[in-house]
Every structure is written in C-alpha cells, then in structure tokens.
C-alpha cells in the first residue's frame, strides 16, 4: 500500500498547487484538493480528534475511494495528514468505502468497506462488499489486515460499518439491501475480527421507505436509543424528502440481546439542500457530536472548476428534547474562532432592505414574529441566498439562487411556535448552516455567491418586521 499512498499523496499535492480558493472553506473541514464525501472514522483518542473522509485525490470527481485524514487537539483547529488508506488489495481493489474508527486497547483501529466491481465499474448490480480492518501504532500510518466480515448469501450491497464497545463486547451496524429494500444489520464480536450475526435491527417494509439504507449509526442519547441512517429511494412528500437522498433517524429502545423497539417514526435530521451520510462520535468529555457531508449526490458542484469538491458540516452537539425530537447545535468549541463581537441596534424594517456588514461569518438574530406582519422577512446574502419567514405559508424558508437552475430552489421547516424566532447562521465561502431555536431545526446548503457578492441585508416585503437582537462575528480559519 505504501506505493499507492505515495502516488495518492503526490496527486493531491499537485492538485493543491493549482487549487483556487474563492469557494474553499475557511472553517469547514475539506480535503486539500480533489473530491470528498462521507465523514469516516470520527474519534477522539489519546487527546487527539481524528476525522477521516471518503476521498478521491486524483481529481475533483468521485472515483476509487481513499481515506483522507485530518487531526485536531481542540475540535476547532485542524491539520491535514497523509492519506490513510488507498484501495488496491484483493478485498478493496476498487475502493476503501465508508466506515469507522475505534480504540482497541490503545490501538487506533479502522473498520471500513472493501469494494470490488465484479462487472463494469459503476455497475451496482455486480459488486462485492466486505468489511475490512486496519490498525495504526502512531495514528498516522495504517496497516491493512483484510476482510473480517463477508455478506450473507443473496446480499451484495453491504457497507458502512459503525462499531462500538458495550458490556465487554464489540457491536457493529451495517447498511444493506435485501430484495430491493433497505435494512440495518446488527453483528457482535469479542475481538473485532470474528463477527456473528445478531439480527436485522430495522428494515424498510415497502419501497416507499427506501431501497438501500446507508451509513447507519446506533447510539444512546439520554435514556433512548437512536438509529441514524441515510435511506436512498424516498419519494418527495410535500415539503419533505426534497433532496436526491435523505438522512434521518428512528428513535426507540434497545438493550443487548434484545430487539430495537421503535417509538418514533423516521425524522429528517437537516432540512437544507446539502446534508448526507452523518456520523457521530464521542467527545473527550462524553458529549455526542456529529459531522455530515455538506453536499448532495447528483447536485452541481461549481467548486470542481477550482480543483476540489466536497466539505463536511461544522461539528454539532446532539441532545434529545422532552418530546423526543433530536436537537443539533454547533459544538461549543467553535466560539474560539470568533473575533470581536459586532452588535447592531434593534430595528423595524418595513418594505425595505437594511445593510449589515458584509464580512461577518457568524450571525445571531432574534426575530419578533408576534410583532411582524410582513409577508416575507429575514436576511439575504448577496444574490446567492435568502433566509426568511413566509408568513402566509407559516414556514421558515432557505432559498438559494444561481445561474444554474439545478442550484436554485427552496427548503423549509414549519415556523416554530412562540413569539420570537432565534436564528444562528454560519456563512462560509460556499456554504450556509442555519440553526433554529437552539437546534430545534437545521438547514444546511451549499451556496455560490456570484462575482463575490456577499452583501448582508435585512429585508421585509409586504409589511413590517421587527429584528429585536442582532450580533455578528468574523471567524478565523481552522487550518493550521
């Protein structure tokens, strides 16, 4: 693997030298160049956070998957590391697909899907997927140990292992497709190398629930258990499921040796245009954190013209509300990126646009919905996007604009109850993340400001709106 890794690292260095930075993120994780998708192997071990990700280092398009790698000691400032895994062995000849990382008695251990095309590359009807293991003594360089789990008879799509330790044993969930229906399978092991099948943890009962369930994650939150996964094949239903593929969770109860009892149906995690393949991990202090892929399959990616494609969301803290709904908020460590605060006076806006400072990366707004009668009101970012309350539809809408019609359109959530609406926005060079009412809802979308236009304006149309509190910050770069 050493020669393959050397070739991959050389390729990404060559791409990096030609990369354009107009759209490259300041405070979101991305590769130095080339393509990335799913976050993988998220872990904190020996005081170091590791983030791996699906990576094609040879150009800006999806291709044979490698594992890119970055590390941090504070979850805020990151350093690129050499590529961790390259495909090429018998079990992963055509790709080191998604997986996870665990601490096995102090040894950083990766479990991932080895992918092999049995027919033509890209033909999903002829493939082999097995679960492989790799280890590292220094946290940077890895040794492959081959396949540790093969699929059962009749199943080809069998990928994305997520592993944890509980009650002295290892457990694994895997996404699979059987009879054209998605499912999550549960396995158990004493040593990470010999696995036995326990049960199908959850499965689609009909085609409307998805033909493949990718990137499963299974973990406790409070006294409940969450099964997070990314179902493929859900048809749009009104405002729901508007993207090519979705990501969400089932809430329920589970104990080892028992079934997963679902108490709340599938709920989407993020209502924006660009969110997929989320994976959680445990922070040094025990908090449950999450990264997602901040793009969407089959969506145009203007950054490809600049030599790179794909980024990860900000790290998010997870909690469970009393009503069983998941809450996601930016990791508290991110406040370390802030410069001096910029406070703005409360303002009433009637049929007008009011400018804010252009170079703010984080904004906190409080909108007084009880004292606002405008048909639409909120904030605009140049000609790239608007976030606004639609008083007629009673929804909070994120709308983006582009010369490319495929990058235009709206995503929205129901307007939360109450007399005020608290919004926290993170505006990077080509992305917008919105957190509503302390994580009651989230909307994440890639945006592409035309001609560098990043003017921020408050606006109200068809009436008046009251913005009772406004604060903003510039954010430092995360890159070391």
Write the CATH number for 162.
2.115.10.20
Average pLDDT over the chain, rounded to an integer? 96
In a domain, 480, yes or no: no
Which tens digit of pLDDT belongs to each residue from 314-345? 999 999 998 888 999 999 999 999 999 999 99
Backbone angles phi, psi at 88, to 5 degrees: 150, -20
In a domain, 105, yes or no: yes
Which tens digit of pLDDT belongs to each residue from 50-106? 999 999 999 999 999 999 999 999 999 999 999 999 999 999 999 999 999 999 999
**Residues 171 and 186 grouped into a single domain:** yes
**Residues 182 and 250 grouped into a single domain:** yes
What is the model's pLDDT at position 324? 83
In a domain, 110, yes or no: yes
What CA–CA distances, in Å, run from 323 to 254, 265, 330? 19, 13, 21
How does residue 452 score in pLDDT terms, banded at 50, 70 and 90? confident
Q: Give me the domain span that covers residue 373.
A: 334-475
Domain count across the chain: 2
Identify whether the C-beta of residue 96 lies closer than 8 Å to the C-beta of residue 65: yes
In a domain, 183, yes or no: yes
Residue 453 a catalytic site member: no
In a domain, 68, yes or no: yes
User: First-to-last CA distance in the chain?
Assistant: 27
Write the CATH number for 453.
2.60.120.560
**Per annotation, catalytic residue among 22, 38, 74, 160:** 38
Given 330, 358, 377, the domain boundary residue is: 330
In a domain, 344, yes or no: yes
* Mean of pLDDT values over 402-424: 95
Q: Is the pTM of this model over 0.95?
A: yes
**Residues 294 and 398 grouped into a single domain:** no
**Residues 312 and 445 grouped into a single domain:** no
More confidently predicted of 452 and 195: 195
In a domain, 428, yes or no: yes
CB atoms within 10 A of CB 152: 10
Q: At residue 369, does pLDDT exceed 80?
A: yes
Which tens digit of pLDDT belongs to each residue from 410-420? 999 999 888 89
* Mean of pLDDT values over 22-48: 97
How does residue 424 score in pLDDT terms, banded at 50, 70 and 90? very high
**Residues 254 and 304 grouped into a single domain:** yes
The residues, any chain, with a CB within 8 Å of residue 77's CB and separated by 6 or more, are 478, 479, 480
Which tens digit of pLDDT belongs to each residue from 162-178? 999 999 999 999 999 99
Given 315, 330, 345, the domain boundary residue is: 330
Longest dimension (CA), the chain: 67
**Residues 440 and 317 grouped into a single domain:** no
In a domain, 180, yes or no: yes
d(CA 478, CA 457): 27
**Residues 376 and 247 grouped into a single domain:** no
- Give the rounded distance of the alpha carbon of 413 from its chain centre: 19
**Residues 357 and 399 grouped into a single domain:** yes
Q: Nearest Cα to 89, choosing from 68, 114, 53, 108?
A: 114
Given 277, 303, 330, the domain boundary residue is: 330
Which tens digit of pLDDT belongs to each residue from 107-141? 999 999 999 999 999 888 899 999 999 999 999 99
**Residues 112 and 141 grouped into a single domain:** yes
**Residues 189 and 75 grouped into a single domain:** yes
Q: Which residue has the tokens 């303002």?
A: 347
**Residues 194 and 168 grouped into a single domain:** yes
**Residues 458 and 408 grouped into a single domain:** yes
């Amino acid at each position: 693997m050493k020669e393959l890794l050397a070739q991959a690292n050389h390729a990404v260095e060559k791409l990096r030298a030609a990369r354009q930075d107009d759209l490259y993120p300041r405070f979101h994780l991305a590769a130095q160049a080339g393509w990335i998708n799913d976050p993988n192997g998220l872990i904190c071990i020996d005081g170091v956070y590791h983030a791996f990700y699906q990576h094609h280092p040879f150009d800006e398009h999806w291709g044979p998957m490698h594992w890119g790698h970055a590390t941090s000691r504070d979850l805020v400032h990151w350093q690129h590391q050499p590529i961790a895994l390259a495909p090429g062995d018998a079990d992963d000849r055509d790709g080191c697909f998604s997986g996870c990382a665990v601490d096995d008695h102090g040894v950083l251990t990766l479990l991932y899907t080895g992918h092999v095309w049995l027919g033509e590359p890209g033909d999903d009807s002829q493939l082999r997927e097995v679960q492989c293991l790799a280890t590292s003594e220094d946290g940077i360089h890895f040794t492959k140990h081959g396949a540790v789990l093969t699929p059962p008879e009749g199943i080809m799509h069998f990928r994305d292992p997520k592993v944890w330790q509980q009650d002295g044993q290892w457990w694994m969930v895997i996404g699979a497709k059987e009879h054209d229906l998605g499912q999550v399978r549960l396995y158990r092991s004493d040593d990470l190398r010999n696995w036995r099948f326990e049960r199908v943890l959850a499965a689609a009962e009909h085609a409307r629930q998805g033909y493949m369930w990718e990137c499963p994650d299974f973990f406790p939150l409070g006294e409940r258990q969450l099964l997070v996964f990314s179902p493929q094949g859900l048809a749009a239903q009104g405002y729901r499921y508007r993207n090519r593929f979705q990501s969400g969770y089932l809430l329920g109860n589970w104990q080892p040796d028992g079934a997963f009892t679902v108490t709340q149906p599938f709920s989407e995690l993020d209502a924006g245009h660009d969110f997929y393949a989320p994976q959680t991990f445990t922070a040094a202090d025990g908090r449950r954190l999450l990264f997602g892929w901040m793009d969407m399959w089959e969506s145009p990616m203007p950054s490809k013209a600049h030599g790179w494609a794909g980024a990860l969301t900000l790290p998010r803290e997870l909690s469970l509300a009393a009503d069983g709904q998941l809450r996601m908020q930016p990791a508290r460590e991110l406040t370390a990126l802030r410069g001096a605060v910029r406070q703005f006076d409360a303002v009433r806006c009637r049929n007008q646009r009011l400018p804010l400072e252009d170079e703010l990366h984080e904004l906190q707004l409080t909108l007084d919905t009880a004292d606002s009668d405008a048909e639409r009101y909120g904030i605009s970012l140049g000609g790239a996007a608007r976030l606004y309350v639609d008083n007629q539809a009673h929804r909070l809408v994120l709308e983006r604009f582009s010369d490319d019609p495929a990058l235009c359109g709206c995503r929205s959530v129901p307007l939360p109850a109450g007399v005020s609406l608290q919004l926290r926005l993170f505006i990077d060079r080509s992305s917008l993340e919105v957190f509503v009412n302390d994580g009651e809802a989230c909307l994440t979308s890639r945006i592409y400001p035309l001609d560098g236009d990043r003017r921020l304006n408050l606006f109200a149309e068809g009436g008046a709106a009251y913005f009772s509190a406004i604060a903003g910050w510039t954010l430092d770069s995360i890159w070391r």
